[in-house]
Amino acid sequence: DERDERVVRMLMFGKPGAGKGTLTARLAQKYDILTLSTGDLLRQHIAEQTEVGKEAEEIIARGELVPDEVVLRVVTSKLDALHNKHWILDGFPRTLRQGELLDAHLKKRNTPLTLVVNLEVPDEVILSRISDRWVHLPSGRVYNMSYNRPQAEGFDDQTGEPLTKRPDDNPRNSVLPQEIFARRLAAFYSSTSPLLSFYTKSAATSSATSRPNPHLHPHQLSFHRPSGLKVKTVSGSTSDEIWPQLDRLIQNRFPGLRERLETQA
User: Which residues contact ligand AP5 (rule: CB under 6 A)?
Assistant: 14, 16-22, 38-39, 42, 59-60, 63-66, 71, 91-92, 94, 98, 129-130, 132-133, 142-144, 147-148, 168, 184, 238-239, 242
Smallest separation, CB 27 to ligand AP5 (Å): 12
The amino acid present at 125, given as its one-letter code, is V
User: Based on CB atoms, which residue is closest to ligand AP5, 53 or 112?
Assistant: 53
Smallest separation, CB 197 to ligand AP5 (Å): 18
Q: Which residue is nearest to ligand AP5 (CB)?
A: 39
Sheet holding 115-120, edge to edge: 34-37, 87-90, 9-14, 115-120, 230-235
Smallest separation, CB 110 to ligand AP5 (Å): 24
User: Based on CB atoms, which residue is closest to ligand AP5, 22 or 114?
Assistant: 22
> Which has the closest alpha carbon to 169: 126, 208, 207?
126
Report the C-alpha gap between 224 and 204 in whole angstroms. 14
Smallest separation, CB 217 to ligand AP5 (Å): 41
User: Based on CB atoms, which residue is closest to ligand AP5, 127 or 226?
Assistant: 127
Between CA 204 and CA 101, with CA 194 as vertex, the angle to 5 degrees is 80
User: Based on CB atoms, which residue is closest to ligand AP5, 203 or 242?
Assistant: 242
Neighbours of 52 (CB within 10 A): 19
> Which has the closest alpha carbon to 139: 7, 41, 210?
41
Angle between helices 68-80 and 38-48 (to 10 degrees): 100
Residue ranges of alpha helices (H) inside 145-209 are: 177-187, 194-208
User: Based on CB atoms, which residue is closest to ligand AP5, 187 or 229?
Assistant: 187
Neighbours of 172 (CB within 10 A): 7
Smallest separation, CB 191 to ligand AP5 (Å): 8
233 pairs with which residues across the strands? Answer: 118
Smallest separation, CB 215 to ligand AP5 (Å): 41
User: Based on CB atoms, which residue is closest to ligand AP5, 86 or 184?
Assistant: 184
Smallest separation, CB 132 to ligand AP5 (Å): 6
| β 230-235/87-90 pair status | unpaired
User: Based on CB atoms, which residue is closest to ligand AP5, 45 or 253?
Assistant: 45
Q: Which helix (H) or strand (E) holds 117?
A: strand 115-120
